[in-house]
Structure 1
Amino acid sequence: MQKHHQAHITFSGDEIPEEESAIVMANHRSWTDFYMIHSVAIRKKMLSNCKYFVKDSLKFLPFFGWGMWLMGMIFVKRNWVKDQAKINQMFATINEFKSPVWIISFVEGTRFTPQKLVDSQLFSQERGLPVMKNLLVPRTKGFVACVQKLRNSHVHYVYDLTIAYNHRLEGLRGFGIPPDMLRVHAGRLSPEYDFHIHVRRYPIAELPEEDEALAEWVHDRYVEKDRILERLKDKWIDGVEGGVWTESW
C-alpha cells in the first residue's frame, strides 16, 4: 500500500524487534486494516508469518477467500463452542513446531460502523462500562484463550496496534474514514488520506493470569486506544500539537 499507492503512513509508540513472535490485537475499521498491519509486518520481517482470525464466511469469497485459506488463516464462526476445537488444534501446532508467528485478532469482532458504535455505547451504558467514542466494546473470550494457551510457548509478547485514518480533502474531511477498495487502487493516496499506527508491546509474563482479570486488562487497553484516537483526531482535525504524534520508527 505505502509503496505502490504512495500512502504516507506514520508510526508512534513502542519499538518492536524484527522476527519476534507475538499475539497482535488491533481495532477494525475496514479491510484496509490488513494493509496497515502488513506495513508493520514488512518492516519487522514477519509478513509471511501473519495468521488472522477471520470470519468463516470469508473463505467462500472468490480469490480473496481462497487466498486466505491457502495462507493458513484461522476461520471462525464467532461461536466459542464450535470454534474451540479448531483453535486449540492451531495452538497445539504452534507450540509443537515453535514457528515464527503473528496471531492477529480484531478483538471488536466486527468492523466499525456508526450504527454499531451507537449500539456499543448503549451496551456500555447498560453494563456500567466506559463509553468509547471511536471503538466498539471488545469481545475478550477468544483473545483471553489465545493468551492462556500460548503463555508458556515461544510467543512472549502481545502487540496492541491502534490504527487511524483521516480523509482531509476540502469539504470531505472526516476522521476515521479509510479509503475504499476502489480508491486504494486508483492511484496516489497522499495527501488525500492520513494513515497512522500506534504500537504498544506488552510481555505476556506481565499480563494478569486469571481469565477475568485478563479480560479487564483488554477493556483497559481499549479505553487507552480510544484516548489515543481522540488525540489523533485533535491533531488532524483541529491542529492541536502534541499527543501521540512522535514518530519512533
Structure 2
Amino acid sequence: MELPSARGTLFCVLLFVSSLLGSIFILMPFAPLVYIAPRLWRFCADRFVGYWLTFPASLCDFIFGVQFHVSGDLIERGAPALIIMNHRTRLDWLFFWNALYKMDPWLLITEKISLKAPLKLIPGAGWAMGCGAYMFLERNLENDMHVMDTMITYYSYTNQNYQLLLFPEGTDRGARAAFLSDIYAEKNSLPKYKYVLHPRTAGFIHLLQLMRRRKYIRYVYDVTVGYPNGMVNSEVELLMKGRFPKEVHFDIKRYDISEVPLDEADAAAWLNKLWREKERRLEHFYTTNEPFAPSGARLLWPVETKGIGYYCAFLFWIISSCIWIYFTYTMFLVKVYVVLSCLFYVFCQKRYGGFENFAVEVMQRRYGIAIKGTRY
C-alpha cells in the first residue's frame, strides 16, 4: 500500500475506533442521566463529544500538516446562533472543527451540525453524533422541517446555547449538483455560479423563523470556506487516496439577528445577496491566490496552533482506545457490556430513529413538555 493511501486509511481507522469505543465506554455509562436528569445529560454529553472532536482536529493539524487560516469575527459560544457556510466539499464540517478550536476550543462543545441522515447509521461516530444531539436531515423539505422543529425546541429546553451549522446549498458542489444549480439559474434568469451553488432558501427561512419564535438566536454567522491548493471531495477519496488539503481558509462575518429581515421574502433575498457576494469573493480568492480579506472585526488567528491541547487529546484517545481494546479482548464481562451497549444504540435507532430522538422523548416525559413535531 502506498503511503498516501495508508495515511488516509490510518486517519479513518483512528476516527472509527476512537468514536466507537468512546460511545461505548464514555457516553454509555452516563446514558442513565437521560432519564434521571436530562439537562445534566446534555451538559455531560456535549463535553464528551466536544472533547472527541479535538482528536480529528489534532490529526489534521499536527499529524497531516493541514494549515488552517481563520479570519473575521469571533463566534461567541455563549449566544445561540445560526452558522451558514458554502458547501464546497463533503468534509467542510470536519475541517471547520479546526477553525472553531483556533477561535475558542469551547466552541467544539457548543457547535451543532445539520448533517445528512444516513450518517447517523455509522457505528460509533453516528451514535456519538446522536448523543451529541446533532440535527440529521433527509433533504426532504417536509420531513426536514419536522426535524428542525423538534431539535430547536429541544435545544431551547436544555438551558444550553448552541451554534447550529447549516449548509443552505443543501449539498456539496459536486459535478451533478453544479449542473442542477445551473439549470435552476437558467429557469429563473439567475447568474450561473462557478464557486458556489444557488442556496435553497426554504429550509433556511423555516429554521431562521423557528429560532426567532423560540427566542433561540442572537446572531447569524456567514462563513466562507476556500481550498487554494487542492481539496478532498469526499470520505472515500480521503480513505482510498489519503489526500488532505494543504490549506483551508475560513472567513467569518457576524450579523446581529436584528440585521436579518423579518419578512420571509426579504430574508430569502438577503441570503441570495450573501451568496452573490460569496461567489465574488471566492472568484477573487481562486484567481488571485490571495487570502480572504478579513470580515467584520478583521481578526486574524495564527496559522500555527500553539499549546498542548491537541497533544493531550491525541494521547488521551490513543491510550484510552488501547486500554479499552485490551480489556475488551481479555475480560468476558467487558465483552458482554460492549455487546449490550451496541445493541442499545441499535435499538434506539430502530425504535426512535436515533439516540437524539430517544433523548427528546424522555425530556418530554420527564418535564411534561410538548416538543412540537416529535414523531418517529
Aligned residues: 233
State whether residues 285 and 291 of structure 2, in contact with CA within 8 Å, keep that contact through their aligned partners in structure 1.
Answer: no
Matched letter for residue 192 of structure 2: V
Q: What runs of 5+ residues in structure 1 fail to find an aligned partner? A: 168-173
Aligned to 2:56: none
In the alignment, the residues of structure 2 paired with residue 109 and residue 242 of structure 1 have an alpha-carbon distance, to the nearest angstrom, of 26
In the alignment, the residues of structure 2 paired with residue 21 and residue 68 of structure 1 have an alpha-carbon distance, to the nearest angstrom, of 19
Aligned to 1:194: 247
Aligned to 2:260: 207
In the alignment, the residues of structure 2 paired with residue 111 and residue 243 of structure 1 have an alpha-carbon distance, to the nearest angstrom, of 21
The reply on whether 1:32 has 2:88 as its aligned counterpart is: no
In the alignment, the residues of structure 1 paired with residue 69 and residue 192 of structure 2 have an alpha-carbon distance, to the nearest angstrom, of 27
2:150 is paired with a residue whose SS is: helix
Matched letter for residue 279 of structure 2: D
Query: Equivalences for 1:117-132 in 2 at 5 Å?
Result: 117-132=178-193
Moved more, 29-38 or 136-145: 29-38
Q: Report the Cα offset of residue 243 of structure 1.
A: 5.8
Q: 1:183 to 1:223 in 2, by over 3 A?
A: farther
Q: Report the Cα offset of residue 154 of structure 1.
A: 4.4
Q: Report the Cα offset of residue 18 of structure 1.
A: 4.8
Matched letter for residue 150 of structure 1: M
Aligned to 1:133: 194
The reply on whether 1:49 has 2:102 as its aligned counterpart is: no
State whether residues 74 and 252 of structure 2, in contact with CA within 8 Å, keep that contact through their aligned partners in structure 1.
Answer: yes
Q: 1:17 to 1:51 in 2, by over 3 A?
A: closer
In the alignment, the residues of structure 2 paired with residue 141 and residue 9 of structure 1 have an alpha-carbon distance, to the nearest angstrom, of 32
Among residues 267, 279, 293, which one is paired with 1:244 in the alignment? 293
Structure label with greater radius of gyration = 2
In the alignment, the residues of structure 2 paired with residue 116 and residue 26 of structure 1 have an alpha-carbon distance, to the nearest angstrom, of 16
Q: 1:46 to 1:16 in 2, by over 3 A?
A: closer
How many percent of aligned residue pairs carry the same amino acid?
27
The reply on whether 1:178 has 2:235 as its aligned counterpart is: no
Tell me how large the CA RMSD over aligned residues is.
2.5
In the alignment, the residues of structure 1 paired with residue 240 and residue 62 of structure 2 have an alpha-carbon distance, to the nearest angstrom, of 15
State whether residues 11 and 196 of structure 1, in contact with CA within 8 Å, keep that contact through their aligned partners in structure 2.
Answer: yes
Relative to its length, the structure with more strand (as a share) is 1
TM-score (norm: length of structure 1): 0.82
State whether residues 77 and 110 of structure 2, in contact with CA within 8 Å, keep that contact through their aligned partners in structure 1.
Answer: no
Q: Report the Cα offset of residue 10 of structure 1.
A: 1.0
Q: For residues 78-106 of structure 1, give each alpha carbon's deviation from its aligned partner in whole angstroms, at most 9, with x where no partner exists.
A: 22222333321222222233412011111
State whether residues 21 and 154 of structure 1, in contact with CA within 8 Å, keep that contact through their aligned partners in structure 2.
Answer: yes
Moved more, 73-82 or 61-70: 61-70
State whether residues 164 and 195 of structure 1, in contact with CA within 8 Å, keep that contact through their aligned partners in structure 2.
Answer: yes
Relative to its length, the structure with more helix (as a share) is 2
Aligned to 2:331: none
State whether residues 10 and 247 of structure 1, in contact with CA within 8 Å, keep that contact through their aligned partners in structure 2.
Answer: no
Q: For residues 148-172 of structure 1, give each alpha carbon's deviation from its aligned partner in whole angstroms, at most 9, with x where no partner exists.
A: 12225242001111111123xxxxx
Q: What runs of 5+ residues in structure 2 fail to find an aligned partner? A: 1-59, 302-376
Matched letter for residue 210 of structure 2: K
In the alignment, the residues of structure 2 paired with residue 50 and residue 72 of structure 1 have an alpha-carbon distance, to the nearest angstrom, of 10
In the alignment, the residues of structure 2 paired with residue 2 and residue 21 of structure 1 have an alpha-carbon distance, to the nearest angstrom, of 28
In the alignment, the residues of structure 2 paired with residue 83 and residue 16 of structure 1 have an alpha-carbon distance, to the nearest angstrom, of 26
Q: Report the Cα offset of residue 109 of structure 1.
A: 0.7
Matched letter for residue 128 of structure 1: S
Q: Report the Cα offset of residue 113 of structure 1.
A: 0.9
Higher relative contact order (CA 8 A, sep 6+): 1
Q: For residues 45-102 of structure 1, give each alpha carbon's deviation from its aligned partner in whole angstroms, at most 9, with x where no partner exists.
A: 2101221111222222333323322221111222222233332122222223341201
State whether residues 5 and 185 of structure 1, in contact with CA within 8 Å, keep that contact through their aligned partners in structure 2.
Answer: no
Aligned to 2:134: 73
- Structure 1: 4+ residue segments shifted above 3 A: 15-20, 182-186
Moved more, 144-153 or 201-210: 144-153
The reply on whether 1:59 has 2:120 as its aligned counterpart is: yes
Moved more, 209-218 or 68-77: 68-77
Q: Report the Cα offset of residue 183 of structure 1.
A: 8.0
The reply on whether 1:234 has 2:254 as its aligned counterpart is: no
State whether residues 19 and 46 of structure 1, in contact with CA within 8 Å, keep that contact through their aligned partners in structure 2.
Answer: no
Q: 1:185 to 1:102 in 2, by over 3 A?
A: farther
State whether residues 232 and 244 of structure 1, in contact with CA within 8 Å, keep that contact through their aligned partners in structure 2.
Answer: no
